[in-house]
Amino acid sequence: GENVEQHPSTLSVQEGDSAVIKCTYSDSASNYFPWYKQELGKRPQLIIDIRSNVGEKKDQRIAVTLNKTAKHFSLHITETQPEDSAVYFCAASLRDSWGKLQFGAGTQVVVTP
């Protein structure tokens, strides 16, 4: 089955700096890669996703890049703000998987003022 590795497990950044989280996946047939943000005590919130026919996607301060050859994808957050502090999960799934998402272990991001 699919296996997703996520790094780093914790990330501390100064407000205004950029943050990058990287994930690798094992199944080359995976074609959908969402990112979720989960604040303490709250639900996972979908913040951006990318499909395998696209190499990069951007939404304001958030961007995701996908390298299918290397089987890795990354989340980039620019101009970080304290409200970006949360746990971020990457995930991968196959088209014919009945929606089964394989999550990475998560990255705790702390943005210090």
Partner 1 sequence: DTEVTQTPKHLVMGMTNKKSLKCEQHMGHRAMYWYKQKAKKPPELMFVYSYEKLSINESVPSRFSPECPNSSLLNLHLHALQPEDSALYLCASSPQGMGNQPQHFGDGTRLSIL
The CB-of-23 to partner 1 minimum distance in angstroms stands at 12
The CB-of-16 to partner 1 minimum distance in angstroms stands at 27
Partners of 112 in the β-ladder: 14
15 CA to centre of own chain: 19
CB 106 within 8 A of CB 7: no
Q: Under the criterion CB under 8 A, does residue 106 sit at the interface with partner 1?
A: yes
Q: Under the criterion CB under 8 A, does residue 42 sit at the interface with partner 1?
A: yes
Nearer to partner 1, 51 or 61 (CB): 51
The string over 53-63, giving b where at least 16 C-beta atoms fall within 10 Å of a residue's C-beta and e elsewhere, is: eeeeeeeeebb
Interface residues with partner 1 (CB under 8 A) are 31-32, 34, 36, 42-46, 49, 51, 87, 89, 91, 93-101, 103-106
